[in-house]
Amino acid sequence: MVITNVVASTKSRQAPSNNDLPAGSLRTFTMRFVPILRKYVGALENPWVTESLVRPVQIIWDGVMQGWPHKFTEDNDKVYRLKIYDWRTQFGKAALDAVEAHWASDAKYSNPEVHKNYVESALSPRLPFMYGCVEVLDDLGTIQVRAVRIQGNPLMLLHL
């Protein structure tokens, strides 16, 4: 097959790197800014959709990176987007590794059809991978369980 309607970009895009940061800011950026950014993005309803982050990123930057004034725009956001991309990549790799380890953990998962059924169940409306906060209500042991999304818990996010 020949693709005839290809349009080549005349812009060369250099991958963002820590070299794009203001001089002397790397330590504060990596030790303070990036963890706060990850916590913020991880707490979003959908952490995979990160359009329109310029304003919150600017607020985080202004609060953390006070010695390095910078104004973010949609055109110059490459460094923080790289850190979000890195986080997603690590998250995705960890997820794939966990799934592969799960398939390898038991011979019953050797069949791809079993994989399909398992995934359909895991993605079903009953949300089997939510966890709960259990609160004991009285001396009789009555409990209340509240379902919690993994993405909304800072402790869970720290270990992802």
Please tell me the predicted confidence (pLDDT) of residue 16. 72
Residue at 142 is within a domain: no
- pLDDT the model gives residue 42: 83
Q: Round to whole Å and give the CA distance between 159 and 12.
A: 36
Q: Give residues with Cβ within 8 angstroms of 78, minimum separation 6.
A: 16, 20
Per the structure, the count of domains in the chain is: 1
Domain that residue 120 falls in: 21-127
CB–CB of 60/43 below 8 Å?
no
Q: In this structure, is residue 43 part of a structural domain?
A: yes
Range 21-43 average pLDDT: 90
Take residue 136 and report the two structure tokens written for it.
């004991």
Residue 82 lies in a domain: yes
Q: What is the pLDDT of residue 118?
A: 84
pLDDT at 136: 77
Compute the distance between CA of residue 58 and CA of residue 149 in angstroms, rounded to an integer.
Answer: 27
The strand pairing partners of 144, in sequence order, are 135
pLDDT in tens, 34-82: 999 988 888 888 887 777 788 999 999 999 999 999 888 877 677 777 7
Q: Does 3 fall in a domain?
A: no
Is 27 a domain residue? yes
pLDDT for 47: 80
Q: pLDDT tens for residues 115-139?
A: 888 888 877 766 566 566 677 787 7
Token duo for residue 146: 């509240």
Considering the domain boundaries, does residue 149 fall inside one? no
Residue 150 in any domain: the answer is no
- Predicted confidence band at 3 (pLDDT cuts at 50, 70, 90)? very low
> Is residue 32 domain-resident?
yes
